Structure 1
Amino acid sequence: MLLNHVGVTVTEIDKAIKWYGEVLGFELLMGPLEIDVDNPTIGEICSDIFGENWQSMRQAHMSMSNGIGLEIFEFVEPKAERRENNFEYWKNGFFHICVTNPDVKSLANKIAETGGKQRSKVWTVFPGCDVVYCEDPFGNIVEIYSRSYEQFYANRADT
């Protein structure tokens, strides 16, 4: 089994497509699409997934060079809203995505310079393994590792 994609909700999909492309290197595959409850098939599928309050959205599909996808949603009705507290890490559910970049500090700076923010210091967890928490311009949490997940954790003693 492989991880296929991550879905994220934003308030401005056009800006998100540009930001995720220019800052994190995602490539746009399709969209943004306009989808509503009256669309044949996809409207019915979305109504089944999102429930009876869902009416319309915009959606785009992006991918990284390793084939992992990013599915971006801008809900139109009901309207997408930015969470006031976007870092409720203690609550159940996914709370961040993580990208790999050998120059963690430079990418964190780029995120901050392009409307996002750096949430934590850059930490060296193991020799050569740096990590930092950031936030995209839409309030979604983005973690950066300097190495792949396997390189970070494989063959490590408990810390």
Structure 2
Amino acid sequence: MMITLNLKEFITMTNKQPYPVNFSHIGLSVPDIHKAVDFYANVMGWYTIMEPATVKEDDSAIGVMSTEVFGAGWGSYNIAHMTTGDGIGIELFEFSNNAAPDNNFKFWETSIFHYGVQDPDIEGLVERIKAHGGKQRMPIKEYYPGEKPFKMVYMEDPFGNLVEIYTHSYDLTYSAGAY
């Protein structure tokens, strides 16, 4: 007796995905949408695919969706969309009641605490970020000293978001094995 399953039945039965889900975008909250678009365009080289716009708490599709996400009383926010050279989206939000966190690096709390980028000219990117108001949180380090030329560093963009910079791709950096 032969048993035949279609793909949907197979996925349901095994409860596994047959492929890795792609990363689409990340949303970043910033205190000034125009300064953020300028920084990410001029320092990171990202493309603006939707100029800053204002979303209001109303009965428009985006207004209703935002209320479903944020709850009632959010008022309005500014939003812009950018994309990296490899097509990852960056969704920027400027909320009207924006407040700087008391500590932007609560690594012990569950959340997304940084975003990672790749640039073979790590020193150049570090200097550009610092020149535009960002901070360097640590010295540039080699991942595998004496073995491979892989380097990394943690920075803060001018808005307090943590940025991890690699010289090589994520898969090359970590497929080398344990630390």
Structure 2: give runs of 5+ residues left out of the alignment.
Answer: 1-20
Q: Does 1:128 align with 2:149?
A: yes
Moved over 3 A (4+): none
The whole-number CA distance in structure 2 between the counterparts of 1:82 and 1:139 is 8
Q: Does 1:109 align with 2:130?
A: no
RMSD, aligned CA: 1.0
Match of 1:69 in 2: 89
Q: More relative contact order in 1 or in 2 (CA 8 Å, sep 6+)?
A: 1
> Given that residues 10 and 82 in structure 1 are in contact (C-alpha distance below 8 angstroms), is that contact kept between their aligned partners in structure 2?
no
The structure that is strand-richer by fraction is 1
Match of 1:23 among 21, 43, 49: 43
Q: How does 1:4-15 map to 2 (within 5 A)?
A: 4-15=24-35
Percent of aligned positions with the same letter in both sequences? Answer: 38
Larger radius of gyration: 2
Q: Does 1:44 align with 2:45?
A: no
Deviations 1:85-130 (A, max 9, x none): 1111111010000100001121111101111111111000122110
- Once the two structures are TM-superposed, the CA of residue 16 in structure 1 deviates from its matched residue by 0.2
Matched residue SS, 1:61: strand
Q: Does 1:144 align with 2:173?
A: no
The whole-number CA distance in structure 1 between the counterparts of 2:73 and 2:110 is 23
Q: Partner amino acid for 1:130? A: K
Q: TM-score, with normalisation over the residues of structure 1?
A: 0.95
